[in-house]
Chains A and B, each alone.
Chain A
């Protein structure tokens, strides 16, 4: 996903008019095309088999533990990794020629055709392993109309689709993606709504409704419960499982994920406040 400085400047200019996104504005922006953050080939933890995972840039949540802080803002961003930077007298200001790879550009435009073409490069591996493509982020449903169009293209190309999402989206987004999504990988970050608001910036009300909507539609699900020590562990993880059981999601479709605080250097590089809780040994899932 590397860009030259020239490309990055052009992308940045195109997005210069965008103000910070808010939840309220999400629906209106949903039809827009996101910038892509990364493409991870041979992913084996984002659904069954070997997969290619595409990451969109832009998320309405502000999880304090977010391990991809570069995926929150929809706009292109530059990061300078201080531990790698040599403070060259004449900085190239270019990801492509930075001698220590300290400089990174985040956010690259890709058309649906380009994404599908990229995905098809590994079709033989999907077919062999029962894999496919996964859309992650950021929050793909922040751009749900685009995501539905992309998934339709994936399906047309014969690809198995997974959606990695917070489910923080309008019901219309769920309805649009249901016919073209083979496996949903929703997060359920906290059962206690006060905790959810405290740690993610949004209520879990819409998320729960969407989970129930998926269950009602008999969608194939693998719910992921991140266990963040000191935040969403203890009683809340028990409550999350209890709630998921109550709406008909079997234990076999729930995965507890261990928390790691490995993204601190990215917060620093992006000039963002590091909000990650500490990783405590022998705690977590």
Chain B
């Protein structure tokens, strides 16, 4: 690839007007480099339109004009979309099977400024009560929760829109549109802009093609790319490459231009198989060409800076019960393995019918740091069925919609809005008893008046302490749900979805926003648990110290207030206690189940404001760090501000009983209580995964986790020695990835403090063996 790429680049520089690429292009050495940087810098032909900054200015003008004319916001948003699609600079490079766009920098998308920032501030001020805003912001400020208006976790019903193509989507819109209705007027503007945008790409391709000698590898790519874009203007996708191009177009239209996440690139092997087989039968492509197209396809997301990794589904079960893993799955896995990208990441559906070769290949990739997680089809379908009431067949075809989340394929416009800090109730209880004790002679002090429970803190038994904790956890969760309920009422007013609405026939029928509330099923809202493991450990520490060793509760409160200062030996003892979540300790397991029950009872099945329901979720993204920074010391030995446990995993360093105990811990709870998702991150030492025996061990862990109801399991495999070497010699570890949460990051992208934290985790891995 490297040599060919360099040749391509030299040719391109000779044939094309490249002045606008300087100084960037000077250091692009080959195709791979071009693909890696494609969404890290502007690689478009500036003569074709506006830069990202130029687009941002243009959108400001459109919004101002819309306000002045008093047109509905949905129409204004659609005009913004159209300006982006039709006025941004673009290019179609012979180095790449897919187009380039000026709106490349997703960290400052122009549409986000217009919607998530400016419009949200305006709408929230106008439509939310001061009480709701006050509650929301106070909780965010003090770390009780973190709540935001979420525009993520949507996925179109790929099966349907691939069968329609863009022209079919337009025809469907026309069937449902009501004349003069601004809802449909906006959608028409957006739909026409999509088709216009595709024509622009095709025209740019034709322009480039006219200046490259026929027979050149880049010219051959361009010819096929232009032909593909021409087809997509008039027909649904016909070939495997058309499908990839369609997904590419929809994704960037929705995410970069419309500001609504598209959280899946389809169940890629299942989707591509019939097209690829037909291509091969008709002699339209070769395996080598298909592999190159796939490689370029994946590299697009390898370049896009979305820290959560772009999910893509893999495998599954056919209606006749056979596995979906096939010859295309092999190619897809080979290409992803060869690319060694942190993103996209595979969420591989596995079941008893999954063939051995697929297990071995995927587990081998996982132990070599490839971005892949394993979802148990049966347990995930069971949880989906319980909460959606869907049929077995619906559950069979569930689709990926997030880091670990799955949903029915026609019901994916879910949100992840609130993150509840499980440590806050303990922190406040101990803070209050500590203050109560130290200020007992300060009658009517201002501080005492602020206390929510300023009377007695005489929890005679651990049971009464735990009951109060659970009461507070339930209260916090309930309040979080209520705030989320109010915040989500205004989603379509903030960021009405063009692409997702056009992709969802039900939305068109019932005239509801495709993202906010227009899916036939779904429209659900996840509230996420943060710090479950550390909360369990902390409650057990209270039990041990106060109710078994007779330390006065106020004394423990003072120690927490002092951030363990002067009590280091005690802190270490608590940190090293065996009674921790993750060690398959019966008391910890039972307590964890109680916490999950309490959390779930406040959420599951309760209606949200979008026509769906709330769902309790077991993963917490980066909030274990964010909320950890806002949380005081806890009795498990954690210091103020330190991170708490991540997802359903144990607190870092305390799961000393190893991987099997960790799996058994999670298996001990009723996983259907967390229908949002139920993931397990597992760090393994390379020695446990080495050789054929390692593959057997990893597969056993996955299968037992799934058999006991767990949904997604993912591995991070490396040794502390390897990481120390990587820290000392970053140049040798360009491709090393580590798992952060539901996503991988490149090791070299982490700061030293984060790298140190990973090294500590890896050191801990050995304790269990």
Interface residues of chain A, those whose CB is within 8 Å of chain B, are 2, 40-45, 48-50, 92, 96-99, 121-122, 124-125, 128-131
Contacts and interface: CB of A to CB of B under 8 A. Distances in A.
B572 A50 contact: no
B572 A125 contact: no
Q: Which 5 A-B residue pairings sit nearest by Cβ, starting from the closest?
A: A129-B700, A128-B700, A41-B658, A122-B660, A44-B693
Contacts of B703: 128
B139 interface: no
A50 B660 contact: yes
A121 B700 contact: no
A42 B576 contact: no
Interface string B737-749: 0000000000000
Given A40-B769, A121-B584, A128-B700, A45 B660 contact: no
Contact of A121 (B578, B664, B769): B664
Nearest to A39: B657
Contact of A96 (B576, B697, B708): B576
Contacts of A45: 687, 693
Interface string B569-596: 1001100101000001000000000000
A96 B569 CA distance: 9
A2 B660 contact: no
A165 B573 CA distance: 36
Main secondary structure of the interface of B (DSSP, over half): helix
A41 B768 contact: yes
B701 interface: yes
Contact of A124 (B573, B687, B704, B768): B704
Contacts of A43: 769
Nearest to A1: B656
23 contacts: A40-B658, A40-B769, A41-B661, A42-B688, A42-B697, A42-B769, A43-B769, A44-B693, A45-B693, A49-B693, A92-B569, A96-B576, A97-B569, A97-B572, A97-B573, A99-B569, A121-B584, A122-B664, A124-B704, A124-B708, A128-B703, A129-B699, A131-B700
Interface in B660-715: 660-661, 663-664, 687-688, 693-694, 696-697, 699-701, 703-704, 707-708
Contacts of A2: 576, 578
B696 A129 contact: yes
Contacts, number: 72
B660 A44 contact: no
Contacts of B768: 41-42
B572 A121 contact: no
Contacts of A50: 660, 696-697, 700
Interface in B493-533: none
Contacts of B661: 41, 121-122
Given A50-B700, A99-B568, 20 more contacts: A41-B660, A42-B660, A43-B769, A44-B688, A44-B693, A48-B693, A49-B696, A50-B660, A92-B569, A96-B573, A99-B569, A121-B584, A121-B661, A124-B664, A125-B660, A125-B663, A125-B700, A129-B696, A129-B697, A129-B700
A241 to B, nearest CB: 22
Contacts of B659: 41-42
Contacts of A99: 568-569, 572
Contact of A41 (B687, B696, B769): B769
Contacts of B697: 42, 44, 49-50, 129
A108 to B, nearest CB: 13
B559 to A, nearest CB: 15
Contacts of A44: 688, 693-694, 696-697
A121 B661 CA distance: 8
Contacts of A49: 693, 696-697, 700
A59 B700 CA distance: 34
Contact of B701 (A92, A121, A125): A125
